[in-house]
Amino acid sequence: MSVSVPLKVNNVIEGVARFTVSLNAIDTTIFKIALGLILAGIFILLITISISLRFAESLTQPLRELKEFANELAHGNYNIKLKNNKIRNDEIGDLAQTFEHMAGEIDKTRRLKEEFISSISHELRTPLTSIKGWSETLGYENISKDELDLGLGIIQDETERLIKLVEELLDFSRLSSDRIRLQIDMVDIEALTKGVVNQLKVKAIENNINLSASFEVQEIINIQGDKNRLRQVLINLVQNAIKFTPPDGYIEIIVSQNEEFTTIKVKDTGSGIKEENLEKVLEKFFQEDFHKSGSGLGLAISNEIVKLHGGKINIESKKDVGTTITFTLKNKILESI
């Protein structure tokens, strides 16, 4: 590189001063810097690509796991578990846990339905077998009066049992499709309670169980509600108590009331419910003991009916000590609809 400066004398150029220097060293330095920047850029690009691939793998691997999991669910395998070491604690991890929880709930519901179908099949077969057997027996010519009365009584009892089972299945169908509607009227809770006690007292006496009702306030005012549905709830709770209460036990219906709510307790000295099952007994199909008769729908249906009346059911129980089921009802349901 050269730099030239004119030499002037009396404003006349007499010559030129020139300074020349070699740029080889500068070119070498610039080349080294450029090469270094290029190499650094390539290195940074490789690191970026590597990080991107690892990040993409961290996203795609859980998604592939979820895809395989979903495919297994689609083929009916609800016992599959996710490989938790491949699932991170992030949004995808939350989605994976939701998938696993969903599979567990589906599997639980499937098993409950299978047990329910098995129980219902047994519940249908037993009374039908009795009805068929006794109807054939009653056709004999030499049957005695006592045998005739016994057979007709058994046929009547088993028929009522079948009717109750069919009604529960119909109510379950209506609840599932949200088609239960209340026929609101004024309900005399005191008369309804005494009527249920009188209706089921014979059954309680047959099992050597003391069934009674008490009222904690002197005057129980009429409330708004569906009389038939409320009777259904109370009958269902008392029948359950009779079923699980041993001889020499007692069942007491306790009614109390304030300005806003009416509270009814059904207290028994029955076999009780295990603590881990207290939250499950109101679920559809659930039965703590599938060897006992029943569809597993009664409490679930009762719970929905009580909810429609603006109330709730609470269960307190201790195994081999007894159970207290309390349900509340709004006195003026039409004002809350």
DSSP letter at 333 equals: G
Domain count, the chain: 2
For residue 271, what are its two tokens? 């076999």
pLDDT at residue number 42: 93
User: Binning pLDDT at 50, 70 and 90, where does residue 294 land?
Assistant: low
Instruction: For residue 102, give both structure tokens.
Output: 């969903």
Same domain, 167 and 189: no
- Report the pLDDT value the prediction gives residue 337, as an integer from 0 to 100: 47
Position with higher pLDDT, 270 vs 118: 270
More confident residue, 253 or 167: 253
For the segment 56-65, the average pLDDT, to the nearest whole number, is 75
Helix or strand holding residue 136 (H, E): helix 91-137
- DSSP lists the bridge partners of residue 225 as 185
In a domain, 95, yes or no: no
pLDDT tens for each residue of 198-216 = 988 988 998 899 999 999 9
- Rounded distance, CA 49 to CA 57, Å? 12
**Sorting pLDDT into bands at 50, 70 and 90, what band is 97?**
confident
pLDDT attached to residue 41: 92
Same domain? 170 vs 286:
no
> The domain spanning residue 216 has which CATH number?
3.30.565.10
Domain that holds residue 148: 103-176
In a domain, 329, yes or no: yes
Boundary (domain end) residue, out of 114, 141, 176: 176
If you average pLDDT over residues 122-131, what whole number do you get?
A: 76
Residues forming beta bridges with residue 266, ordered by sequence position: 253, 325
Domain boundary among 176, 200, 233: 176
Under 8 Å between Cβ of 236 and 280: no
CATH code of the domain containing 115:
1.10.287.130
Average pLDDT over residues 84-104: 69
Pairing of strands 250-257, 210-215: parallel
323 and 211 inside one domain: yes
**Given pLDDT bands bounded at 50, 70 and 90, which one contains residue 89?**
low
Residue 95, phi then psi, degrees to nearest 5:
-65, -40
Question: 333 vs 260, which has greater pLDDT?
Answer: 260
